[in-house]
């Protein structure tokens, strides 16, 4: 079987940048992800939300960042294993065996860029809700255009709920109902202020303190939503779409069975090399932990550089390398 220099687990932004760094170091690389394509949480959970702290971009959408990273790695050859969840990770004769349901992948080193692990959406306990899911009930937004000139009800009081309420109320949705069980919100104060401003201008209908009680409609298409306050009073409001944002639960999944040191649902690493306590296994991005760790994408990019260089030295300990900036090295040829 083919043995890769490096196997990268996770095709989010940090995983993709790890592929780029591996390509710049001419390492034989494969990319593994449980989803069917690249993008990770950026594409699956908040594709159209703006990111403001990526160097060189005053503002870029999450999907726009993924698209740029895909273009950046395009000159380099690497094999992809999508729809593959790595179930077991074992070392035999110095080679790591990554086993999924359908494949066994062999690699000299492994970089785990699995984001925050697997997310499970917290769904409201409402009867009949499943009938409407993925038609008119969504737990994340991928294309805001589908809500154009429609009535949208958002339930929740955190960042996601208020972010999307503000975005959709500003020239996209016909009407936005924001339902929350309290009068106090957990979102950033800047977003709360923006929501209150839109409310004063009649663009957001704020309904508190109410909770989601039931949904009405036919064949998966909503017509109305029932909500209830603390006194048991029921209010029925018209709505074409429902966005319940009740947060998510993080699960590390099979990673917990790989023999790694786990600290508060994160993989413990040495920040000087990004190596775990298992030789040849590295972790980068939101999945890793070390004292002073900051969960920013830009931090993950820096960690990816460190991990790939550490992996190179592990694979080729006797090679002498001279440091070069990309401005002088350029992009290696595939020929």
Query: Helix, strand, or coil here: 200?
Result: helix
Q: What is the pLDDT of residue 119?
A: 67
- Which pLDDT tens digit goes with each residue over 268-298? 999 999 999 999 999 999 999 999 999 999 9
Expressed in angstroms, the distance from the first to the final Cα of the chain is: 23
The one-character DSSP state at 287 is G
CB atoms within 10 A of CB 83: 13
What is the biggest distance separating any 2 CA atoms in the chain, rounded to whole angstroms? 74
Cα–Cα nearest to 126, from 164, 179, 71: 179
Of 132, 98, 133, 91, the residue nearest 112 (C-alpha) = 98
Peptide bond into 209 cis (omega under 30): yes
Peptide bond just before 204 cis, omega within 30 deg: no
pLDDT band per the 50, 70, 90 thresholds, residue 118: low
Domain boundaries, the chain: 3-119+249-329, 123-246
Residue-wise pLDDT tens digits, 64-97: 999 999 999 999 999 999 988 899 999 999 999 9
pLDDT in tens, 149-204: 999 999 999 988 999 999 999 899 999 999 999 999 998 899 999 999 999 999 99
Please check whether residue 229 is in contact with residue 208, taking contact to mean a CB–CB distance below 8 angstroms. no
Q: Which fold has domain 3-119+249-329?
A: FAD/NAD(P)-binding domain (3.50.50)
Give the model's pLDDT for residue 328.
80
Pairwise pLDDT comparison (251 vs 31), residue with the higher score: 31
Q: Contact 134/219 with Cβ under 8 angstroms?
A: no
Report pLDDT digits (tens) over 253-262: 899 999 999 9
Which of the following CATH numbers is that of domain 123-246: 3.90.950.10, 3.40.50.720, 3.10.129.10, 3.50.50.60? 3.50.50.60
| CA-based nearest residue to 212, from 196, 234, 187, 184 | 234
Name every residue whose Cβ is closer than 8 Å to that of residue 254 and which is 6 or more positions away in sequence: 85, 86, 87, 88
Which residue is associated with the tokens 């070392």? 91
* 309: its two tokens: 């260089």
- What is the pTM for the complete model shown? 0.76
Average pLDDT, the chain: 92
pLDDT at site 289: 96
Best-predicted range by mean pLDDT (35-44, 48-57, 110-119): 48-57
Q: b/e per residue, 168-198, with b = 16+ CB within 10 A?
A: bbeebbebbbbbbbeeebebeeebbebbeeb
Please state the φ and ψ torsions of residue 192, each to the nearest 5 degrees. -60, -45
Q: Can you tell me whether residue 222 is helix, strand or coil?
A: strand
Please name which of 219, 193, 8, 37 lies closest in space to residue 96, comparing C-alpha atoms. 8
């Amino acid at each position: 079987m083919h043995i890769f220099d490096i196997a990268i687990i996770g095709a989010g932004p940090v995983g993709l940048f790890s592929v780029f760094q591996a390509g710049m170091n001419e390492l034989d690389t494969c990319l593994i992800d449980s989803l069917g394509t690249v993008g990770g949480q950026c594409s699956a959970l908040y594709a159209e939300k703006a990111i403001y702290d990526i160097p060189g971009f005053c503002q870029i959408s999450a999907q726009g960042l993924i698209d740029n990273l895909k273009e950046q790695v395009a000159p380099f050859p690497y094999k992809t294993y999508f729809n593959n969840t790595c179930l077991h990770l074992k070392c035999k004769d110095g080679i790591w065996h990554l086993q999924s349901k359908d494949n066994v992948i062999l690699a000299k080193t492994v970089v785990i860029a699995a984001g925050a692990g697997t997310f499970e959406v917290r769904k409201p306990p409402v009867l009949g809700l499943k009938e409407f899911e993925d038609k008119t009930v969504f737990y994340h937004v991928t294309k805001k255009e589908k809500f154009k000139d429609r009535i949208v009800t958002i339930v929740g009081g955190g960042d996601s709920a208020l972010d999307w309420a503000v975005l959709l109320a500003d020239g996209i949705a016909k009407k936005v109902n924001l339902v929350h069980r309290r009068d106090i919100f957990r979102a950033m104060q800047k977003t709360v202020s923006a929501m209150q401003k839109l409310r004063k201008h009649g663009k957001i209908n704020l309904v508190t303190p109410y909770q989601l009680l039931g949904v009405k409609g036919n064949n998966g298409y909503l017509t109305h939503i029932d909500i209830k306050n603390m006194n048991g009073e029921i209010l029925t409001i018209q709505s074409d779409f429902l966005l319940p944002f009740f947060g998510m639960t993080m699960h590390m999944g099979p990673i917990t069975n790989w023999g790694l040191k786990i600290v508060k649902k994160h993989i413990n690493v040495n920040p000087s090399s990004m190596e775990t306590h298992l030789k040849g296994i590295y972790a980068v991005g939101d999945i890793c932990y070390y004292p002073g760790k900051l969960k920013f994408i830009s931090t993950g990019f820096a960690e990816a550089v460190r991990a790939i260089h550490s992996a190179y030295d592990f694979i080729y300990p006797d090679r002498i390398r001279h440091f070069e900036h990309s401005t002088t090295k350029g992009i290696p040829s595939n020929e």
